[in-house]
Amino acid sequence: MTNKIASAFFTLFFLILSITAHAASEKTYTIGIVPQFEAKKLRRIWLPVLKELEVKTGFKFQLIGAPTISAFEKEFLSGKFDFSYMNPFHLLIAHDSQGYMPLLRDHSKKLQGVLVVRKNSSINSVAQLNNKTIAFPSPNALGASLQMRAELHDKFKLNIKPVYVKTHDSVYLNVFLKQTAAGGGVEKTLKKQKQQLHESLKIIHKTTPVAPHPIAVHPRVPKQDREKVINAFFELANSADGKKLLASIPIKKLGNARMEHYKPLEAMNLKRFYVSQ
């Protein structure tokens, strides 16, 4: 009986050691997501994706949310994220400050800002918005705010009263509720709105198209681990279920991303409108 107890004890002991060693060998990486949508919606979109990546890579991924785009910027400027899904102008700032590099992006369509008003509004042209209040998600949202404000200033010579409402969802809701005359968003987030809200708005201006949001990586992540993550994303993109998960981001046609894809942004002189955190 004593031998049996001793045997069971040693079996349990080595099992615990094995589990502990396995847990210690697991790498955990942080991933930050730009808050285009409210937090619950972002988690609903990204957690299933990260779960699949964990299965395919053997890594653990910790989703780090930020309540506002400004808070998100402070996080990547301090290098908090190992991986991040960020807007293209953020990439330029993150590359300069921390050395972040783009890995992947959607190749189905470029990013384009949209200026929306209520469908039943008497406003039909951008010129009618002079001295009007316009909602933006934050000062540094790319297509929705930076590009949009630059084009309203440079192309249309407008004076506007901007208000910043934290997310794209809030922009569209402010316009719907007549809190502002118009609002800046992007095509992809507008299409993600509920049908009633989407159909109540009309687009009166679109910005110059640019390469869309990249999935970027901090240089501290080893090259072999980056490759595992890239391969896992492509595995997802090549399966029916995986395509559905990526489409919710939205990424409809996954492809590689390089810094040269984002260089045209530098010529737009958007730093005039960028608010440093």
pLDDT digits over 218-252, tens only? 999 999 999 999 999 999 999 999 999 999 999 99
Domain 8-107+211-270 fold: D-Maltodextrin-Binding Protein; domain 2 (3.40.190)
In single-letter form, the type of residue at position 16 comes to I
Strand 161-164, strand 133-136: pairing: parallel
Mean pLDDT value across the chain: 90
191-203 as b/e: b if 16+ CB within 10 A? ebbeeeeeebbbe
- Reported confidence tier of residue 25, pLDDT bands at 50, 70, 90: low
Query: Residue 203: beta bridge partners?
Result: 116
Taking only Cα atoms into account, the Rg of the chain, rounded to an integer number of angstroms, comes to 22
- In three-state secondary structure terms, 255 is strand
Give domain limits for the chain.
8-107+211-270, 113-206
Equal fold, 8-107+211-270 vs 113-206: yes
Question: Is a pLDDT exceeding 90 seen at residue 148?
Answer: yes
How many Å apart are CA 191 and CA 81, to the nearest integer? 28
pLDDT (average), residues 268-275: 89
113-206 sits in which CATH class? alpha beta
Give the dihedral of Cα atoms 245, 248, 252, 257; nearest 10 deg: -90
- Reported confidence tier of residue 37, pLDDT bands at 50, 70, 90: confident
pLDDT of 21 reads 38
